[in-house]
Structure 1
Amino acid sequence: MNLSIDVVIPSFRLDEKYILPMLRLRKPANVNIKFYLVADNPSLVPSPAIQSLVDHENVFLSVNPENLGSGLTRNNGMNAGNGDWILFLDDDVLVPDDLLETYARAAVQYPDEIGFIGLVNLPKPTTAFTKALTVSGSLDIFSIAGKKASFAWGATANMMIKRSAADNIQFTGKIPKTGGGEEVDFFLKIRERNQYRNYKTLPQAAVQHPWWNNEQPNYRKPFFYGVGNSWLGDLNPQYAYYDFPNTPETLLLSLLALAITGLLKPMWVGALLVFMAGVILIEIIASLIQTIKRSGTGNVQILMYVITLRIVYETGLLWGKLSRLRFGKIGERFHDNGIINKVYFYRSNTYKMVKWVLYPLLVIYILRHFV
């Protein structure tokens, strides 16, 4: 082998449990490995065990002067090295000892690939909330390497790219540092630079990722992922399209209509209130049917968590647009699978089909009882 790999690890915590095994990964013969550990917490003091491995020859440690977020922190790590390949690892994954050997073999065997998507395994869920996260589809990108031969992007928790393919592309600083969307934007831009070639998946390069928040309900992450993802259409308009308003968007538009109606046509206020209640009920019914069909579970608690996760994410998506006064982006959706398709309102699935049936029934009910 005659190649070099830079391992970039952004970290806010520098937790020895995860960081030390990464820095001690077995190095493939004849491969130049350098680790770039970038602390995104200026007040953090590295532990003696971590500091002892920092030699500024093979292991480098830098500390951001201020909290920059994971995207800009990864930029600092990338820019510090010059290896042929860049391996991104999150600071909270458990790595197998042969991870570098697996990636190095792939780089030699497939030198023309623009990158490799590794597998990120999560523990078996034991609470209703983590079971809901699993069946909701929101974590599918972690397991994409076990399902597809290639894909348009991957999770930076475990993914390697060719530096020459990335050229000078960087993680954007526009997306809020709370996260969400920056890795989609980054990998799609590299893919676009390389004639829209997908990244090869590498399921044998597998890491273990723990559950967040001890498997307890936490809606902060999906909300801010929504806020971050609201930028994707602005940054990559070729993948954007419009669809019918989702539930938070519909409720917002209904509230605006309610305010106007209250002033101009007070007799219609009752109809609008019934419509808004119907919107919520239809969302529940459509989500229940879709989730039961996909997962086979009838557990009420899991189903309600799935519904809440969807609403929280979509609310974050809406808030991200409203906070930037991007009112024309209401209804905009994004092909994160890399498809360029400008056909509006084209996607159809169980969830939407249920809504298409129930919304006309709701309108008919209102017309019969309020007109």
Structure 2
Amino acid sequence: MVQNFLCFWVMTSSCSSGWGASAFASSASLINGVGGLGAARYCKQGAPWRDALLSDAIAVLEHALGPEAAGRQLRCLNVVVPTYRCNLGALRRITQLRTSLAARASLHTLVVVDDPSSPALADVQALQDWSPNHLVRVYVQPANMGASDARNAGMAQSFGDWTVLLDDDVAPDEQLLDAYLGATLRHPHAKVFVGLTQLPEPHSMQQHALVASQMTFFFSIAAREPNPPWGVTANLCVPGRSNNTVWFSGAYPKTGGGEDVEFCLRLKALAADKDAAIVAVPEARALHPFWGGVLRQVAGWASGDVLCLEALPHSTFRALPNWAEATLLLPVAAAIGAPPLSGALDGCGTMERLVLLAACAAAIMAVELTLGVVSVLPRVPPALAPPRRMVIAVLALVPALVQDVVRLRCKLARLRFTQICLCFDWMDGQRDHVAATQFGLLVRNVCWAVAVCCVLFWSRLSAGTLALAASFLTAAVLLFARSQRINHRRLFCRDYLSALRPLPLPEDGPVPFVVLAYQRTGTNLLCGMLHNHPEVRALVAARLQ
């Protein structure tokens, strides 16, 4: 029954855009005067008809129309734009996107309004258009449910071959849709296409600092990597009707942060060829403005992306503590009497202990700022005046420092103490991100230890010892600056926790099976290990073929 209905639905709606087998009647209209937009008078029973059922119905119709209809077939493309701001100018630019005549495509743009009480709602709804092969609809969410739910609502109403996800504040290039369509023809088996999201030329010191901090690295990842690990949802293209299994998680903040990472990596896991599952499309360009409240924005990202540690445990790795975690461990070490704090604090009063701990925290921060400036300064434009460059380099450290504090606060608030000293591999195994992070934290921790010991035993050390410690810290800073240009994977040849190697499984007979689990993330860890096992990958690839 569902199959027959789908064939009829495809014939009456999709045929007009998919094969040109019917004509648009733009002068006819239908109004539901009984039900309307309100709640139904009955309990609706839906059927999961998007994925296989819809594809099978299209295949049946394609066979019925015969080979002569193949030349008239149009490619169906959806554009989903969630909006809370309801910026009419930006939304008008997006809804005016077109494909070229040579692309032979039918376009359906859906604007999902996530603020039903917006005063600009009527103006946004006026953007709706029912032109042939260019449909613009506006769907209003019942309440403010967040960016993830808004995108899911738009994707659930996308029945085309591919769905383009755009933010409501980007200015897309006129050739963006054609670039994505061309990429889908060149890579038909890819799961994610990442467009190039560019920022304007920085002018203020705050904008220069944001660019130098590399907080926007993944916005322009399409210009650097042919197969990025993931892409931001400001400019992304994913399968349309064939995707009925991977959705954006509602566990992330409403304003976004981390949900795009999980979404892309879960789509990547469905691909037979993981290395070619995500493809960069640098020709699909969109201009994204700078944010007004930069610190609020990066703090929101951090509060969301820290959830990836639990959602994607197979993409995590252990490293030494960062500055925020090291500062937190200072009073803990003092409370349990760990050396060398125990020897330095013996016989001190409460106020003296607090002063010493504050001095140790200040030493850690001083070392962090010094090493941070050394890392960031080469990314500041050399054409600027030296004092201005130095100020920008210091300002560029603030977003990363804020994110470290926010991530630590989220871990403690959720009682995830085992996630302390746990990092996420944002490059998903590409480049030397893991080794570089571990090496950088190793250098930092050694410098922190020397600086803290100097603070604790300042009155007991000789001038020669203090000079030696200062020389060591200076040499460490210089070597760290030099190390920013080397391959850390070769230098730091193995991780602290090496990856488990698959067992030599026999071809016949019983197969040994080992389950590793710890605390509440045991199931996720096991699934991640099985997902990365070569035998499991080969079996999945064989079945997909």
Common topology (TM > 0.5): yes
Matched, 1:243 2:319: yes
Give the aligned partner of residue 292 of structure 1: 377
| Displacement after TM superposition at 1:166 (Å) | 4.0
Say if 1:154 and 1:70 are closer, same or farther in 2 by CA, change over 3 A: same
Say if 1:242 and 1:33 are closer, same or farther in 2 by CA, change over 3 A: same
| Displacement after TM superposition at 1:332 (Å) | 1.0
Matched, 1:34 2:108: yes
- Scaled by the length of structure 2, what TM-score is found? 0.62
**5+ residue gaps, structure 1:** none
Say if 1:192 and 1:307 are closer, same or farther in 2 by CA, change over 3 A: same
| Displacement after TM superposition at 1:360 (Å) | 3.7
Equivalent runs, 1:215-294 vs 2, <5 Å:
218-258=294-334, 265=346, 267=348, 269=353, 270-294=355-379
Give the aligned partner of residue 524 of structure 2: none
Say if 1:94 and 1:274 are closer, same or farther in 2 by CA, change over 3 A: same
Matched, 1:18 2:90: yes
Query: Which structure has the larger Rg over C-alpha atoms?
Result: 2
Equivalent runs, 1:1-371 vs 2, <5 Å:
2-29=74-101, 30-46=104-120, 50-55=124-129, 58-163=135-240, 166-195=243-272, 196-197=274-275, 198-213=277-292, 218-258=294-334, 265=346, 267=348, 269=353, 270-295=355-380, 298=386, 299-339=389-429, 346-347=435-436, 351-352=440-441, 354-366=443-455, 368-369=457-458
CA distance in structure 1 between the partners assigned to 2:119 and 2:453 by the alignment:
64
**Which has the higher mean CA deviation after the structures are superposed, 162-171 or 284-293?**
162-171
| Displacement after TM superposition at 1:256 (Å) | 3.6
| Displacement after TM superposition at 1:301 (Å) | 2.0
Contact kept, 8 Å, 1:227 with 1:317, in 2: the verdict is: yes
CA distance in structure 2 between the partners assigned to 1:54 and 1:102 by the alignment:
25
Contact kept, 8 Å, 2:323 with 2:368, in 1: the verdict is: yes
Contact kept, 8 Å, 1:120 with 1:142, in 2: the verdict is: yes
Q: Could you report, residue by residue, the CA deviation over 1:270-312 in whole angstroms, capped at 9, with x for unpaired residues?
A: 5433321211111111101111244465523212211211110
For the residue of structure 2 that corresponds to 1:152, the secondary structure is coil
* One-letter identity of the residue aligned with 1:208: L
| Displacement after TM superposition at 1:340 (Å) | 9.1
Say if 1:142 and 1:346 are closer, same or farther in 2 by CA, change over 3 A: closer
**Which has the higher mean CA deviation after the structures are superposed, 83-92 or 53-62?**
53-62
Higher strand residue share: 1
* One-letter identity of the residue aligned with 2:370: I
Q: Could you report, residue by residue, the CA deviation over 1:96-128 in whole angstroms, capped at 9, with x for unpaired residues?
A: 223222222222232222221111111100111
Contact kept, 8 Å, 2:158 with 2:241, in 1: the verdict is: no
| Displacement after TM superposition at 1:3 (Å) | 2.0
Say if 1:350 and 1:337 are closer, same or farther in 2 by CA, change over 3 A: closer
Contact kept, 8 Å, 2:303 with 2:410, in 1: the verdict is: yes
| Displacement after TM superposition at 1:318 (Å) | 1.1
Contact kept, 8 Å, 1:290 with 1:350, in 2: the verdict is: no
Identical amino acids, percent of aligned pairs: 28
| Displacement after TM superposition at 1:182 (Å) | 0.6
* One-letter identity of the residue aligned with 1:277: A
Contact kept, 8 Å, 1:9 with 1:88, in 2: the verdict is: yes
| Displacement after TM superposition at 1:161 (Å) | 1.1
CA distance in structure 2 between the partners assigned to 1:322 and 1:349 by the alignment:
22
* One-letter identity of the residue aligned with 2:362: A
**5+ residue gaps, structure 2:** 1-72, 461-545
For the residue of structure 2 that corresponds to 1:150, the secondary structure is coil
Contact kept, 8 Å, 2:114 with 2:150, in 1: the verdict is: yes
CA distance in structure 2 between the partners assigned to 1:127 and 1:340 by the alignment:
33
| Displacement after TM superposition at 1:170 (Å) | 0.6
* One-letter identity of the residue aligned with 1:210: P
Q: Could you report, residue by residue, the CA deviation over 1:189-229 in whole angstroms, capped at 9, with x for unpaired residues?
A: 1111214344111111101111111xxx6311111211111
| Displacement after TM superposition at 1:249 (Å) | 1.4
Contact kept, 8 Å, 1:153 with 1:188, in 2: the verdict is: yes
| Displacement after TM superposition at 1:365 (Å) | 1.6
Q: Could you report, residue by residue, the CA deviation over 1:42-90 in whole angstroms, capped at 9, with x for unpaired residues?
A: 2014465542332478222111122111111100100012111110000
**Which has the higher mean CA deviation after the structures are superposed, 204-213 or 251-260?**
251-260
Say if 1:67 and 1:302 are closer, same or farther in 2 by CA, change over 3 A: same
For the residue of structure 2 that corresponds to 1:219, the secondary structure is helix
The structure whose RCO (Cα within 8 Å, separation 6+) is larger is: 1
* One-letter identity of the residue aligned with 1:67: N
| Displacement after TM superposition at 1:255 (Å) | 3.5
Contact kept, 8 Å, 2:246 with 2:263, in 1: the verdict is: yes
| Displacement after TM superposition at 1:250 (Å) | 1.5
| Displacement after TM superposition at 1:175 (Å) | 1.5
Give RMSD over aligned pairs.
2.8
How many pairs does the alignment contain? 367
Say if 1:348 and 1:224 are closer, same or farther in 2 by CA, change over 3 A: closer
- Scaled by the length of structure 1, what TM-score is found? 0.89
**Which has the higher mean CA deviation after the structures are superposed, 94-103 or 292-301?**
292-301
Say if 1:314 and 1:367 are closer, same or farther in 2 by CA, change over 3 A: closer
Contact kept, 8 Å, 1:5 with 1:87, in 2: the verdict is: yes
Contact kept, 8 Å, 1:239 with 1:340, in 2: the verdict is: no
| Displacement after TM superposition at 1:334 (Å) | 0.3
